[in-house]
Each structure stands twice: as structure tokens, then as C-alpha cells.
Structure 1
């Protein structure tokens, strides 16, 4: 059985924009991805709200810099056959980076970490899938609207930058904005149906990549 690490932020965690702390397990995209692979792989969900690609955010008690925590997870979950990375939305926060290009450079670094990590001798070097997050949209949310002042415009640049990076370093690319749209309740997070849609759409991509 193959092992897949799903590495992301609150969209991977399954944050509910309607106010619930989290979508039901069966509605989160890593769970749907696993189901779509028909028992041929297990998907380990590693989602943390606020996680960035490579940027520090000291406003949280948890370590949000994805580049700092990824090596530990690669070691603790090995052997891993594939790492699916969907990060970048939090990079767009005005006080962190604010740029889709900056997020793309961060996602490139994460892919490099996966490819160059010192795995055990018998462990494979995982395949990497870089996922451009869904676009941010207009919202009246008191906190998230000003936090993502340029997020709507910049998030639409994710796919172009991520696709180029994926091509440059030999990774698979997927644009989640083609199947999922953020909720107007907060402009960033996804309802259950849109969260499920990402996992369902990724299943054939990952299946082909791993030869399942």
C-alpha cells in the first residue's frame, strides 16, 4: 500500500467557514482522496490553520512556517510515496508576504526539501504534487477581508506561478481553483462540498502518478 502525505493549511485541516471548528472527517479533501484511490493508498493529513510556505508568523502559538516543520514530518512518516502540497493562501496576508510570486518561491523550496531530504536507505524519494489553492473572494468578514487586502487579485496568479515552478523542478501540478471556490462567509475557506471536490479531483491525478 502506498503512503501519501497531504501537507497544507486550514483548507487541508478542514476549517468550516460557517463557524464550526472543522468539517466532518469524511468531508475533508485528504479523506476523499484516500477514498478515491480505492484502498491502494493511505493519506496522512497534515493540515494546520495559518501555515505558510516558508514565512514566519509569530502571531500563533504553533509553528506556522511550513519549511521548518516539513523535514520532521518527512522523517516521522517515511516511507512516503507522494507528498501533495497545497499552501500559499496564508502567504498572501498583508503582514506576511502579500504576493503569489512569493508563495510560489516558497512552494518551490518545499518541493526541494521533499526531493533532497535524507531518507532512510530503503525509503523512496516521494513524488511531489503542487496544488495551487482556490482563489480568495470578496467577503465582509471583519478580520479576513482586511487581512487579504490584495489576496483576491494575487490568488488568481497562483496557477501560473505554481505551474511554472512545477515544470522547472519536475513536479506534478494541479489547480484547485478549477474545482473549488471559497465561501463568501469569509472569502478564504471552503464549504464541505468544495472541500470534497478537491480530493475527488486529485484522486485520478495521484493514481496516475503512482501507477495505482
Structure 2
């Protein structure tokens, strides 16, 4: 059995568009659950989605625990042995209070990749497969969230290219979620249950396409 860790924010947590972190889709509806269904019983999929999670930044309002890098090491070590780690972050880094361009958000993703490689949580102490998933671009109309994400819409459309560049440079897998799903117009930056289904199916195909040559313990 191979293990996959899905490390993300509210769109991995399954937050319902227009809702709160307490309003989330069920396990079988969220994209990690859909992916698991598609991959079958020889896989174990671990969800680690947190609403508001950033790549490497303490949030001065929501709290330092939203820093993905701070939680990544204990998370990975608690779930190892891992064959694949999927990272889908970046949207929360675009909040106005961080004032970060898309290229800096991509560098944050790069830091997480470096940390994973140093931890070597794969089979027999190896580096696991790593896949970076760029979130779908935000819609122009993000309702009452506009003051918090002021200017983020344009930057969100630049994430896919910047994430692909960093993934290629660090020799890890990349997938653009925006190639298969769009954000829901209810709030403009969360994906709905239909999008979770489509993303889970697409990512299962990406996982199966990886050249799995080593045995998992």
C-alpha cells in the first residue's frame, strides 16, 4: 500500500463556497477522498487541509499556526512513511496584509519542497515523490473578501506559471488545478463539490502516471 499526504488550505479542507471553515463537504466529496476512490484500495490518502494556511508566513491576524512551514515537519514525520506529498497552497499568501507577488509565493512553495527533501520521509529513508498543485485562479468578484484579498485576483492568475517554474527547477511534479476546475461564484475563491470531483479524478490520473518503480514498505 502506498501513502499520499495532501497538504493544503481550505480547498483541501473542503470548505463550502460562501460558508465558514465549519461548513465543509463530506470526506467522499472532498478531492482527496475522490482521488482515493479513483486510486483504489492499494492506496492510503491522508488529508491535511487547514483554512487560511499559508506557505511560509505567520498570519498576524489568524495566528502563527496558519504557517504551513511550521506545521509541515511534524505533520510529515507523524504520517511517514510517505510515497507522495501533494502541496496545494498559495491562495492565502495573496492576502493584502502579506503584500507578496506570485513569484514570492512560489518561493514559499520551494521552501516546503526543500524541507520535505531534507526530511526524507519516503520508503527506506528516501525522498518521496512531490507534486505541486497550483490553485485555480480567483474570480474577479470575491464578494465581501475584496478588502482582504485586494489585488489578489491578478496575482492568482500568475501562480500556475510561477509554481511550474519552481517545480521544474526542483525536479518535482506539477499540476495546474485551473486546467480542470474554476472557483465558485458564491465567494470567488473556493471550489464547489463538482470541482472537487473533477479535481480528484484528474489528480488520480496524475498520480497513476508517475513512474512508480520502487516498492513501498
Flag structure 2 segments of 5+ consecutive residues without an equivalent: none
How far has the Cα of 1:29 moved from its partner?
0.5
Task: Name 1:136's counterpart in structure 2.
Answer: 138
Match of 1:38 in 2: 40
Further displaced range: 3-12 or 33-42: 33-42
Q: 1:29 aligns with which of 31, 53, 63?
A: 31
Paired with 1:56 and 1:102, the residues of 2 have a C-alpha distance of: 15
Q: Distance in 2 between matches of 1:97 and 1:197?
A: 31
Aligned residues: 211
Question: In the superposition, relative to structure 1, how do residues 182 and 125 fare at CA in structure 2: closer, same or farther (>3 Å)?
Answer: same
CA shift in 2, pair 1:121/1:31, >3 Å: closer
How big is each residue's C-alpha offset from its partner over 1:63-119, in whole Å with a ceiling of 9 and x where there is no partner?
A: 011111000011100000000000000000000244211110000111111111154
Contact in 2 for aligned 1:98/1:150 (Cα 8 Å): no
Q: Is the 8 A contact 2:55 2:109 kept in 1?
A: yes
The CA deviation at 1:207 is: 1.4
Partner of 1:170: 171
Equivalent-residue separation in structure 2 for 1:103 and 1:75 (angstroms): 24
Residues 140 and 128 of structure 1: is their aligned pair in 2 closer, same or farther, counting only changes over 3 Å? Answer: closer
Aligned residues: CA RMSD: 1.8
**Cα drift, residue 211 of structure 1:** 2.8
Distance 2:38 2:211 in 1: 13
TM-score, normalised to structure 1's length?
Answer: 0.94
Structure 1 residue 61: Cα displacement: 4.8
Match of 2:2 in 1: 2
- 2:77 is equivalent to residue 75 of structure 1: yes
TM-score w.r.t. length of structure 2:
0.91
Q: What is the match of residue 16 of structure 2?
A: 16
Counterparts in 2 of 1:131-210, with a 5 A limit? 131-139=133-141, 141-142=143-144, 144-209=145-210
* CA distance 1:120–1:88, change in 2 (3 Å): closer
Instruction: Show the counterpart of 2:65.
Output: 63
* Corresponding residue SS for 1:95: coil
1:49 matches 2:82: no
Say yes or no: does 1:89 pair with 2:94: no
Q: What CA deviation, in whole Å up to 9, does each residue of 1:158-212 have, x standing for no partner? A: 1111111111001000000011111111111111101221111100111121539
Q: Distance in 1 between matches of 2:135 and 2:152?
A: 12
Runs of at least 5 residues in structure 1 that lack an aligned partner in the other structure: none
